[in-house]
């Protein structure tokens, strides 16, 4: 199946709305949110977003000073996945924040990091980070809308509808 455009996705959602309005208001947002959470967490395992690999980190580049430092002081860091750090908190913090009438919110919970700082946004959007003046974290997207996510969401909504009608 070809990747869905936003227009095709909207048409499919409207079709599902006609079939079962209550399903779209209550069940579909949770199904969509859980599909998104699974996809976003998978991005940490694949170190990519929508099939595009993240920019490599210096601590894994054998020719960089960061690699030499990591190899000497923290050897595991030279092979650890990007954005997992020592704890993997960022990937584990992705969760469904709220589900309402016909909508859901997925986010990275700041409480996971013991702060209210937008830690996830700094990495996802490539924002200024607290490493001195002028340092901008390289953008490594792990959350966001993609044609593949829309396609998976529609597939999961179809499965949920099938389960609903089989009851």
Q: 116 lies in a domain? A: yes
Q: What are the pLDDT digits (tens) for 81-137?
A: 888 888 888 888 899 999 988 899 998 877 766 655 678 888 899 888 776 777 888
From the list 93, 92, 96, the residue with the least C-alpha distance to 109 is: 93
- pTM, two decimals, is 0.80
Q: How far apart are the C-alpha atoms of 120 and 122, rounded to whole Å?
A: 5
Q: What b/e string do you get for 98-121 counting C-beta neighbours within 10 Å, with b at 16 or more?
A: ebeeeebebbbeeebbeeeeebbe
Q: 10 lies in a domain? A: yes
Domain of 72?
6-166
**What's residue 94's pLDDT?**
92
**What's residue 153's pLDDT?**
95
Q: 1 lies in a domain? A: no
Q: 50 lies in a domain? A: yes
The enclosing H or E element of 99 equals: strand 94-100
Residue 77 has pLDDT above 60, yes or no: yes
Total structural domains within the chain: 1
Q: 81 lies in a domain? A: yes
Q: What are the pLDDT digits (tens) for 30-53?
A: 999 999 999 999 999 999 999 999
For the chain, what percent of residues have pLDDT higher than 70? 94
């Amino acid at each position: 199946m070809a990747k869905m455009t936003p227009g095709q996705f909207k048409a499919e959602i409207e079709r599902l709305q006609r079939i079962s309005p209550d399903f779209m208001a209550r069940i579909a947002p949770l199904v969509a949110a859980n599909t998104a959470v699974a996809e976003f967490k998978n991005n940490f395992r694949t170190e990519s977003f929508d099939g595009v690999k993240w920019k490599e980190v210096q601590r894994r580049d054998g020719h960089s000073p960061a690699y030499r430092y990591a190899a000497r002081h923290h050897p595991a860091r030279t092979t650890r996945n990007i954005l997992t750090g020592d704890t993997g908190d960022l990937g584990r913090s992705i969760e469904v924040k709220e589900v309402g009438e016909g909508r859901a919110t997925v986010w990275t919970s700041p409480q996971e990091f013991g702060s209210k700082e937008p830690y996830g946004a700094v990495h996802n959007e490539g924002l200024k980070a607290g490493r001195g003046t002028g340092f901008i974290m390289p953008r490594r997207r792990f959350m966001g809308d993609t044609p593949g996510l829309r396609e998976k969401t529609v597939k999961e909504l179809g499965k949920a509808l099938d389960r609903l009608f089989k009851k």
